[in-house]
Amino acid sequence: MKQLVQDLRTGETRLIEAPAPAVRPHTLLVRASRSLVSPGTERMLVEFARAGWIEKARQQPEKVQQFLDRLRTDGIFPAIEAVFRKLNQPLPLGYCHVGRVLAVGPGATGFRVGDRVVSNGPHAEIVCVPATLAARIPEEVTDEQAAFTVLGAVALQGIRLLRPEFGETVAVYGLGLIGLLAAQLLRANGCRVLGLDLDSDRLKLASRWGVEPIPARENPVAVVASATGGLGCDGVLITAATRDDALIHYAAQMSRKKGRLVLVGVTGLRLRRTDFYEKELSFQVSCSYGPGRYDEEYERKGRDYPPAYVRWTARRNFEAVLHALRERRLEVEPLISERTPLEAFRAIYDNLRKPGVLASLLLYPESDAPSARIVAVAPPVGRLGQGCLALFGAGAFASGVLAPALKAAGFRLKTLVSEGGLSAAVQARRLGFEQAATESAVVWEDPEVELAAIATRHDSHARLVCEALAAGKQVFVEKPLALSLDELNRVRLAAQQAAERGIGVVVGFNRRFAPLALRTRALLEGLGPFNISATMNAGALPPGHWVRDAERGGGRVVGEACHLADLAVYLCASPITAVCMNTLGGEANEDDNAVILLRLADGSQAALHYFSNGSSAYPKERVEIFGGGRTLVLDNWRRLEGYGFEKFRSAGSRQDKGHAEECRRLAAWVREGGPPPGDFEAALNVTEAMLAARESLVAGRWVEVGGRQAP
């Protein structure tokens, strides 16, 4: 299938070939017929991508500060690499998609194969979208009309926040596509609508629907005052896109006392206190197309809000706009400026500021051909005995850190697998893979693939490990190995059975392969037991981030703090026997500020500090080891300081967390055989300990570790 993307690094808008996405729970798979180019949002994204480095930095000062903080703590090369990892992730364009349902995922109720639907899918021939962000199209509404639904919902959500009453006067400031849709919906709501814009053609078009046009080049405040008999507007809906702060000032001045302002567009926001103080104005910024947008529970898990408590969700706003289209209360045909086949997309994107253009429709070819789940990217270039692998996952870590390290280690990169398809296709081309796919079956059935490298989201790790072992593939899996005791025990059993056939599992605890970790282990030989204090200054994640979700990410202790636990096990050469955890405030679901105490079999003990509430200017990781009258301090994988050693005082290097050495040993194992690198029994022990840490927090006591079974 073909999909439009925006390359943030080069500024190029591209149409790429990608494997069709796989349908997932609570989603729909949809084949496109039409999609609408959003003239505001997409133009801003394209222009940002095409801007120079200095302009990009000027527009995102917070990103510049993050870069400077990382530069100070990690050094220049890791900081630059992090920037390029972000820029190497092209963004899908578009969010107004119309098509027919090809497949309905488990839990996606209310839809059938063959239904015409509108959704927030991107510009692609086939999309996978949350069922809660899709709506069935009435028979009376054409595909072209339905393509305006999502932008209509954006306008409608702003109107709902404005709370207009019948007979009130509302000014719509900015008569672009969303402004013209909003003006019609306000008229249908019984409001008197004043339309303000610089473009005389848009003012003329708005008057077609009973909007009173006001040229914004004139003194808009005076004109509105005259039109309202000096009272001012009851509400102002701001749908313009400008960096100028003056627009908000004018909107406030044209409002009546206790008036209401809602921002749907983009403006400068240096507000003048007197504007709002003297009139006691209310001001609100509208978010997207309704409640549920950006809520993981709503979008990913299909958990709708009860209508009795949240009457208008994103999907119900879609349905309301479709109803208005069916009843002809919303007219969109005069807004269509051009219709362009998908293949000719440059006619639109190279002229986004073309005068007179409002709505551009992309047209998709009709097809009944089955959707391809695998796409060839490059001809095979591997050699016999090189070590052939498939990589599962195409996120920032998989594509920016792991894949380059595997390639540098000499692996033949054959297949990159990702459910979404787009990221697999983009990164496969960039990294040198031979093909991109969205189904794991293509790997299990491929006799050439020797190693399955798994770097997907955490909830799929255990399943993919078991499938790979059953298919006879050697396995490398990023941490965590599992998210529950049941998953862990299934992996343990599968690994035991596979070991009889010479198949092994390596878990991505890369820090034990870091040069400074290897040096530390050598210096500690024969000095135990130890006291270890390890700190990870992890940084905050948004509350809805998938890592913090117990079902998808397992939480930050299981998913990330496990690195510190494995390092303690490696340095002490001893397993964990008991664990006790406390979190800031004692909250069980706030495990990103945790102190975890470990007892080890050799008598050592470790205190792991995993914090998200510290400064990003402070180094991310620090480990202190005390034992045998000596002390070692490992500072952010850049420097090792020794105290009490006769022949060692310090060592330093470029920041190296062990990924390169880990992948070199992995390649040697796949090519030459022998025992797998790392320590799988230790990985089982560490995973069990991190799961026990959650149990400890709830129970308020130490929890023993060692071969426990799921309840």
Task: Reply yes or no on whether the pLDDT at 708 is more than 80.
Answer: no
302: left (phi over 0), alpha (psi -120 to 50) or beta: left
Spans of all domains in the chain? 2-147+294-363, 151-285, 384-509, 511-704
* Superfamily (CATH H level) for 511-704: Dihydrodipicolinate Reductase; domain 2 (3.30.360.10)
User: How much is the average pLDDT of 341-360?
Assistant: 89
pLDDT for the residue 617: 86
Distances in Å between the Cα of 298 and the Cα atoms of 38, 130, 318 are 24, 9, 15
Q: Give 28-83 pLDDT, tens digit per residue.
A: 999 999 999 988 788 777 777 766 656 655 666 666 566 566 555 656 555 555 65
Roughly how many angstroms between the first and final C-alpha of the chain, as a whole number? 45
In one-letter notation, the amino acid at residue 483 is L
Give the distance between the most distant pair of CA atoms in the chain.
Answer: 90
What is the pLDDT, as a whole number, of residue 78? 59
Distance CA 488, CA 359 (A): 53
Supply the pLDDT for residue 84: 54
3 state SS for 447-514:
CCCCEEEECCCHHHHHHHHHHHHHCCCEEEECCCCCCCHHHHHHHHHHHHHHHCCCCCEEECCHHHHC
Predicted TM-score (pTM) of this structure: 0.86
Q: Residue 97: which H helix or E strand, with range?
A: strand 97-104
Structure tokens at 341: 């086949």
449 confidence band (pLDDT: 50, 70, 90): very high
Lowest mean pLDDT among 202-206, 242-246, 493-497, 600-604: 242-246
The architecture CATH gives domain 384-509: 3-Layer(aba) Sandwich (3.40)
Pick from 429, 435, 460, 455: nearest CA to 507: 455
Residues whose CB is less than 8 angstroms from the CB of residue 664 and which lie 6 or more positions away in sequence, other chains included: 409
What's the rounded mean pLDDT across residues 356-364?
92
Taking each helix axis from N to C end, the angle separating 220-227 and 246-253, rounded to the nearest 10 degrees, works out to 20
User: Average model confidence (pLDDT) for the chain?
Assistant: 91
Kindly report the CATH number that applies to the domain delimited by 151-285.
Answer: 3.40.50.720
The conformation of residue 227, written as its DSSP 8-state character, comes to H
Crossing angle of helices 562-572 and 515-524, rounded to 10°: 40
Distance, in Å, from the CA atom of 256 to the CA atom of 325, rounded to the nearest integer, reads 32
632: CB partners within 8 A, 6+ apart:
520, 523, 524, 624, 625, 640, 641, 642, 643
Asked if domains 2-147+294-363 and 384-509 share a fold, the reply is no
Q: What is the mean pLDDT of residues 536-549?
A: 87
**Percent of the chain whose predicted confidence (pLDDT) is above 90:** 76
Cβ neighbours of residue 290 under 8 Å, at least 6 residues apart?
A: 153, 156, 157, 160, 312, 313, 314, 315, 316, 317
Segment among 85-94, 124-133, 210-219, 593-602 with least mean pLDDT: 85-94
Is the separation of the CB atoms in 221 and 250 below 8 Å? yes
CA distance 223 to 429: 57
> Tens digit of pLDDT for each residue in 511-532?
999 999 999 999 999 998 999 9
pLDDT given for residue 270 in this prediction = 87
Centre a 10 Å sphere on the Cβ of residue 473 and count the other Cβ atoms it contains: 22
Q: Look at residue 688 and tell me whether its pLDDT is greater than 60.
A: yes
Q: Tell me, what's the pLDDT at 7?
A: 85
- Give me the pLDDT at residue 61, please: 66
pLDDT confidence of residue 56: 55
- The model's pLDDT over 473-486, given as tens digits with 9 standing for 90+, comes to 999 999 999 999 99
What CATH number should be reported for the domain whose range is 2-147+294-363? 3.90.180.10
DSSP bridge pairs for 263: 238, 285
The residues, any chain, with a CB within 8 Å of residue 92's CB and separated by 6 or more, are 3, 4, 5, 6, 122, 123, 124, 422
Mean pLDDT of 599-626: 95
Across 38-47, 146-155, 270-279, 292-301, least confident range: 38-47
